[in-house]
Chain A
């Protein structure tokens, strides 16, 4: 076997050893490994001729489709780094990202032409790929038809594993997006670990549910291409309809599903799982936010032949701990642990002064190993703040990423996740863990989802507010909830207000948007 050290190597390995194996599926379209390798090479040849090379950034801006994979692997094959642009984000935010990391070329499609004519005015793009030239688009455009006439063997480049492979932009705590830089090595370290841990092989059909700008998608594409498996891209529309989503898993004979808990909870509630044949599923992997134990247990009971795994890790580390969920006891809704460090990961826990704590004490989790990012694009200040340096051998350093998450090692060796360090707030001088408030709300059987957030008050302190969604047909008042909490939380941690609503604002990755809830509360209090 060829020595593998680049993220796109898997595609070319499989194109040689299993050319007719299906690499990517999207609705009724398919690309075999040979087709994917050839098309990626053609895109790479185009990019190289256009002057794109090692370390350059190329955008991907389109609703997911069969060419999403060609875009990813073509950009990597050209030696450049791909930057996924959220297809549903406002154009101002996208223009910010494009300008921030100096994107010159974007892979896109016709459905984005309206937004692109806006973006072009606010940026310095040199060209678009994947759409036809048109009067509204004032820069050169090259269609796939033209790309696919180019030579189909990859350009010869000498890349190394430390080269930049992709940048994922996430909301910074101040609201300015920050670009998390991953190298071929950090991406591959995660993908190869995942292939081993979940025994991914060429018979697997792996779902791609997450958008490309969300780090879960790197498993879907890169673990799959190393193993020679098939990545099945779920059409955007289906992700909105739990009953269609469950049927899609059945029809596509998905063997490994990976998503945020929210998508799974939706299917559990409204997907009519009993009427579907989901016997091909062997793993359900989830990450991104805690999976409320009561929903997870119900799901596990409905799919007893499926193994479940909780993957944990900030985007900066890909994934750094994991927990294979055992049978859950019916009489405890205790949150499940995030598990143990992945192989090739060193984990330490430190106090707020950076002193390493003995096992079992609560502190911030720090991570060192192959999966950790290179840094934040263009932000040496944030990068330095994100890393922790431990001196070694006199003048060398071991570099850890500060996860910002509070953990505690349990006697069985698994980490318990206690919440964000910065989700710890002070209210009237008391320190409150907002995640704890949410967990207490969720422990009520009628509460389906809960979010707690601080609302600054006139006295310069914070009040806690919470919003909940009740289970379908459930009926509860704010007072009932306060009563429920009073037995579980100290008085100062009980929310000043609990809003019972039908839905929450969510981020583009499906997480509860607590910042927006907070803004709504602020606006309400002002008026």
Chain B
């Protein structure tokens, strides 16, 4: 699965479970309460395990985590290097 699909699936199946049936790729995940502050920690832990990449604290910011698109863009950039 490509990065975007993996992230999308995790958010939909794990973090938004029972609260939301569909999430569009540019939907505001945090502002709309789809992910809360615990969800962010789970998401970061998931990324670190799945992609074997440690996300620095200073990268866990709105620009990189506001939507499925933002997260996958961020990871695509980091994972090539």
Contacts and interface: CB of A to CB of B under 8 A. Distances in A.
A238 B62 contact: yes
Interface in A121-156: none
A240 B30 contact: yes
Contacts of B25: none
A247 B59 CA distance: 12
B42 interface: yes
B33 A241 contact: no
B37 A502 contact: no
Contacts of A491: none
A275 interface: yes
A108 to B, nearest CB: 14
B17 to A, nearest CB: 14
Contacts of B13: none
Contacts, number: 61
Interface in B1-55: 28-33, 35-42, 45
Contact of A88 (B33, B42, B62): B33
Contact of B38 (A111, A244, A506): A506
B61 interface: yes
Contacts of B39: 240
Interface in A235-287: 235-244, 247, 266, 270-272, 275
A510 B38 CA distance: 10
A270 B30 contact: no
Contacts of A247: 61
A241 B61 contact: yes
Given A502-B41, A503-B38, A237 B30 contact: yes
Interface string A496-522: 000000111010001000000000000
A454 interface: no
Contact of B61 (A87, A236, A239, A244): A244
B62 A241 contact: yes
B44 to A, nearest CB: 9
Interface of A: 63, 87-88, 111, 235-244, 247, 266, 270-272, 275, 502-504, 506, 510
Given A235-B31, A240-B36, A244-B60, 4 more contacts: A237-B29, A241-B62, A243-B61, A275-B58
